Structure 1
Amino acid sequence: MDVLNRLQQFLGLVGRHTPNRTSGAEHTGSALCIEPSDIHKTTDYPTASNGLGDVYKCIWNHGASSDEVAVKSPRLPTMSDRESLRINKDLDREILIWAALEHQYVLPLYGTVEGFGPFRALVSPWMLNGTLNSYLKHAHETLSLMDRLQLLKQITEGLQYLHDRDVIHGDLTNNNVLVAADGSPRLADFGISNIMVQSNPTFSYHTGAIRWVAPELLDPPQDQPIPRATKSSDIYALGGIMLQVLYGKQPYWWLKSATHVISAKFKHAEPIDSSIKIQPNHLNFMRRCWSKEKEGRPSVEEVIDYLQEALSNETLSA
């Protein structure tokens, strides 16, 4: 189904993402708008922040129900009123696409709310285990290889769902994969980085994300001055997710500054060094994901096939 059809079906789909569509929320031409008075911060300060926005843990009171939600307020450069209007239209597009998506490993969108900044904030379920990065810090050693392969397969299934609908994530990092209470992942924040790039061509990926960014997005061809994320650049980032889930290391973990990471990418240095031992089959596949030539990277279907085979082999050897 193409994007246009998804947008046309949005009003019929968004209700399925909402725990209980009752009073306090109404549809507009852009998204399910939640009344600001129904959203209550649990703290005055963001629970988390990254280069794309601030996240507040809140309680959403709707009808007789209350839900813990995450409210993400996009953080974009200072701009004129005209630019802000254009960005809001771009956000409308991404919000509509997100609201029309429904998959167990994609974070659902409940709606939008005003009052958290100059742009509409995005309301989604609160994920008890936080980001993949924080989850792995305390759970990696307790997860078996089977658990880690299964987690990777679930993440990839979420990405496959997006790619099958021509939705590019564009900012797939360890902080944009969230983990639910049962340990299963939810892909979040897709599409927002492309708005950042379009709103400010001088935008450089925030320090945490630079490790995951495909090299062609840092050094686009002259005939394409504004880089755009692709399915192939998502696969490059997925290779970094594989590295961290399987081996507990972020890409270029030994480099502390974004400048050094960028320099390493321009020199075509791999995101790994010799300080850890990686299984040869894992290493070979991750290297395919990190191929300098984007045409050499596997499709999301190939990644799933590889992970399914790895899971089957692990089952046989158990």
Structure 2
Amino acid sequence: MILAESGNATFNSCPMGNVRWMPPEAFQDGDEDDDEAKDEKPTKAWDVYSYGCIMMQVFFGNQPYAWITNVISVMGALQKGRNPFRGYQSAGIGEEIQQIAQLCLSRNREDRPLIGQITEFLWSQTNIAKTVETMLLQLPVTVTRISQAVLTKCDYPNGLDVLGAALRYKWVHESRETEVAVKILRDNANGYNDMNRISNRICREVYVRKRLRHKAILALYGITAGFGIIPGPSFVYPWMAGGSLRDYLKQEHSVLPASQKLDILLEVARGIEYLHKQDVAHGNLTGDNIFLDGSGRVRIADFSRSVILAEADSDMFNEQLPGDARYTAPEFMFTGGRTGIPKPTKEGDVYSYGCVAILVLSGKAPYWWISKESQVLSERKKKGTSPFHPTAEIDEAHLNLLQQCLSAVKSRPSIEKVLYLVLVQSFGAADLTTSVKRLNNVHQNAGGFANVHRCSLSLRDIDAVQLAVFRYQSSSRSTCVDVAVKEIFLRGDTDTLTIINRLSREIKIWLKLKHENIVPLWGVADGFGFGFLPALLSPWLENGALSGYLEREHEMLSYNEKFALLKDIAQGLQYLHSRSITHGDLSGNNVLVDKDGKASLTDFGLSALVPERISQVALKPTCCGGTAHYMPPEYLAVDDEGNASAPVFSPKSDVYSFGGIMLQVLEGKVPYHYIHNQFAVMNNISRGIKPRRPPISVVIDSDWHFMQTCWSGDMEHRPSDEDILKFVEGRTRIQS
């Protein structure tokens, strides 16, 4: 009977069930005024009584009132309150089990336990704890055991919910107090095979997690016991104050800026990229097992369905459970036959990532218009329905990302390609991958962080780039133009997300800059060999970097041509500084010269990497002519304890570097060219030792004095952009 509709005429007459399993209230006589007694209908308490009869029958092997053969006599015994199992011996059945069964058979329905209480009790009688412990001991990894005594419960709502419920606790460890989540296992186990399945999931989680170390992966502190309805292990994780991604977006999606949504997608993709590099397929990536900590950083959890691909045939990964119907790739749902559910794959993770992207970009779960999970499964099987409908929140660029992730298995991109696509959206740059062609496999080194390739860019069907080329060079009728493709790479120990965010902000600025002495950024491309960071596309300038140009051409350059170069550089700097942009790494390698001898600044958008590049310099002490030769002393500052301070980015720092450029242009050699160890160069700069003066025939007094002001240790005493431009323009007129 449907209890909510018990007053419906359909349920006015209830057929008599099997009398032996019916509760006493089914046969109450009552008074004439007692309507409930006259027409007793089934209740939850009624079911509990019947369940108690089944329990006793299972334990003793006899049906209720087995000694009574006449049904009418059974009804009489019920009305008199006779015990349906009186006189039976326990036959080894535990006293607690008999007590719970007798409570179910209470004559007073109010004394009967709830079905949830019965379930909890039965769980407590299983041997899952022993099964799990045995399996854990057989694993080739160890896991930290955390005593319940060092965990103190916090009075806060539950949060983490992956395999089941989680409680918020404080863990006292090594004299420190840490907030943790104690995740309690809940599952529907109905027998030995089910308990083995649950035990396997626990052991799989432990086994996979122990090899994972990444900021985007939720750490496993250890396991504890004594929590919840199962006397087996519970997982202990860091507490995730932001909750699950799904719950977080319910609260915050409407106020999240687009950049922060892309940050979330980037962090998730970085986590999956790490897993795939470790040869691990997650197997069940959803909005419920991605979490955010108190600062909004992403953590991926739940590895109970994960597979180490190289060990996929081992017993550990024999059994595979279905994933969430809203996020699971179609190839894991419609297999048919008797082969069971396929094991997780990297391609399946990419599909699930696309579904997570739907959640992040739209604020709605995949198949949000279908409320029940069973209906989602049915809809997908029958119609192959797409997991989203285009909405205003999902623009064309985002739509392209989703469509690629949700495509057929063989058409899905790798997670590295997904990372690239997310970054392109973050940068707001044109993706020119399909229009770029390598001219050869030779590349030029561009410092400790990049290589530059000379490539050909087709201008067909690239209206925006065609317009940029037209503005940059008059001979734009060509269908192809040579470009410099700079591939960027980072050290493995960098805080990648921080670098990417800074790089993204500055590239967005670079894309907007329009000046004749600034090398334009036309777009980005993929496939140049160094990870997921997009390669940057700019016009190819025939004469290359200023340092190389001066090595080849210095003796043939007139004073006027030299000061024309300095004027170009000064104009470029003045433009940058007028836009509140500090180059941060001005050197002879970051000034390019075109075929007509005009100089333009480049790489200022990569000033986000300057701290990284300073450390790279320190790794290459024998390399001459690098960034260190132009470096302002404030970049090398140390505190009272001798620790390096964070570099101070200021337009005045660029002015110091301009002094080095000026010396190089006039002399034809980099500052400190006579010192072949960059440690020694940096030591001289930090001590205030200036470069040696060339002969007066090369650098006259006024030029040398001006360079000295650029190299002032007091930043405020260095000349302004206007002062620099006025000086070089004046020298150009004199030489003319």
Normalising by structure 2, we get a TM-score of 0.37
Percent of matched pairs sharing the same residue: 34
Larger mean CA deviation between 34-43 and 148-157 belongs to 34-43
Paired residue for 2:670, among 250, 253, 269? 250
Displacement of 1:84 in angstroms is 2.5
- Is residue 708 of structure 2 the alignment partner of residue 287 of structure 1? yes
1:93 to 505, 513, 517: 505
Task: Report SS of the residue matched to 1:51.
Answer: coil
1:109 paired to 2:506: no
Residues 148 and 246, structure 1, Cα contact 8 Å, conserved in 2: yes
In structure 1, which of residues 149, 155, 165 is the aligned counterpart of residue 579 of structure 2?
165
Partner of 1:44: 441
Aligned residue in 2 for 1:297 = 718
> Would the alpha carbon gap of residues 120 and 92 (structure 1) be closer, same or farther in structure 2, given more than 3 Å must change?
same
Cα deviation code 1:108-145 (max 9, x no counterpart): 01011122222111100001001101111121111111
Give, in whole Å, the separation in 1 of the partners of 2:567 and 2:610: 29
Structure 2 counterpart of 1:214, one-letter code: P
Other structure's SS at 2:735 match: helix
Contact persistence 1:52–1:193 (CA under 8 A): no
The 1-side partners of 2:490 and 2:448 are apart by 9
Structure 1: how far apart are the matches of 2:655 and 2:589? 16
* Counterpart for residue 646 of structure 2: 226
Residue 153 to residue 276, structure 1, CA distance change in 2 (3 Å): same
Residues 1-318 of structure 1 correspond to what in structure 2 (within 5 A)? 28-63=425-460, 65-79=479-493, 83-116=495-528, 117-118=530-531, 119-197=533-611, 204=617, 207=623, 208-221=626-639, 225-273=645-693, 277=697, 278-315=699-736
**Structure 2 residue identity aligned to 1:299:** S
Q: Which has the higher contact order (CA 8 A, sep 6+)?
A: 1
Task: Name structure 2 gaps, 5 residues minimum.
Answer: 1-258, 260-423, 462-478
Cα distance in 2 between the residues matched to 1:128 and 1:311: 24
Deviation at 1:154? 1.1
- 1:77–1:200 CA contact under 8 A, matched in 2: no
Q: Is contact 1:48-1:56 (8 Å) kept?
A: no
Q: CA deviation at 1:275?
A: 5.8
Supply the distance in 2 between the matched residues of 1:210 and 1:50 (Cα, whole angstroms).
11
Structure label with greater radius of gyration: 2
SS of the equivalent of 2:430 reads: strand
- Paired residue secondary structure (2:505): helix
Paired AA for residue 210 in structure 1: A
RMSD of aligned residue pairs (Cα, Å):
2.5
Cα distance, 1:268–1:85 mapped onto 2, change above 3 Å: closer
The question of whether the paired residues in 1 share the 8 Å contact of 2:664 and 2:670 is answered with yes
- Kindly indicate whether the alpha-carbon contact (under 8 Å) linking 1:31 and 1:112 is maintained by their aligned counterparts in 2: no
Which amino acid counterpart does residue 237 of structure 1 have in structure 2? S
Deviation at 1:153, TM superposition (A): 0.7
> Which moves more between the two structures, 183-192 or 265-274?
265-274
Structure 1 position 89, deviation (Å): 2.2
User: Which amino acid in structure 1 is aligned with residue 722 of structure 2?
Assistant: E
| 1:160/1:300 contact within 8 Å kept | yes
SS at match of 1:158: helix
Is contact 2:452–2:486 with CA below 8 Å preserved after alignment?
Answer: yes
CA change 1:38–1:215 in 2 (3 A) is same
Distance apart, 1:200 and its partner CA: 8.6
* Per-residue CA distance 1:271-291 (angstroms, 9 max, x = gap): 124666520000100000011
Contact preservation (8 Å) 1:52, 1:192: no
Runs of 4+ in 1 over 6 A off after TM superposition: none
Q: Deviations over 1:224-277 (max 9, x none)?
A: 931132111100000011111112121111101101111212332111246665
What code does the residue aligned with 1:127 have?
A: L
Per-residue deviation, 1:31: 2.4
Q: Given that residues 171 and 191 in structure 1 are in contact (C-alpha distance below 8 angstroms), is that contact kept between their aligned partners in structure 2?
A: no
Give the C-alpha shift of residue 33 in structure 1.
2.8
Take 1:254 and 1:279, find their aligned partners in 2: how far apart are those partners?
A: 20
Amino acid at match of 1:105: N
Q: In the aligned structure 2, how far is the partner of 1:220 from the partner of 1:204?
A: 17
What is the rounded CA distance, in whole Å, between the counterparts of 1:253 and 1:203 in structure 2? 19
Partner Cα separation in structure 1 for residue 633 and residue 651 of structure 2? 14
CA distance in 2, matches of 1:158, 1:49: 20
Partners of 1:50 and 1:131 lie apart in 2 by 12
Report Cα offsets for 1:81-123 as digits up to 9, x if no partner.
xx32332222211110000000001000101112222211110
Q: Secondary structure at the match of 1:136?
A: helix
Q: Secondary structure at the match of 1:85?
A: helix
Contact 1:68 1:126 in 2 (8 A): yes
User: Residue 733 of structure 2 aligns to which amino acid in structure 1?
Assistant: S
CA gap 1:281/1:75 in 2 versus in 1, 3 angstroms: same
Partners of 1:144 and 1:34 lie apart in 2 by: 42
Q: Is the CA contact 1:289–1:297 (under 8 Å) kept in the aligned structure 2?
A: yes
1:183-204 CA-partner distances (Å, limit 9, x unpaired): 101100004233342x699565
Q: What secondary structure is seen at the aligned counterpart in 2 of 1:228?
A: coil
- In 1, the alpha carbon distance for the partners of 2:632 and 2:435 equals 40
Counterparts of 1:307 and 1:104, CA distance in 2: 18
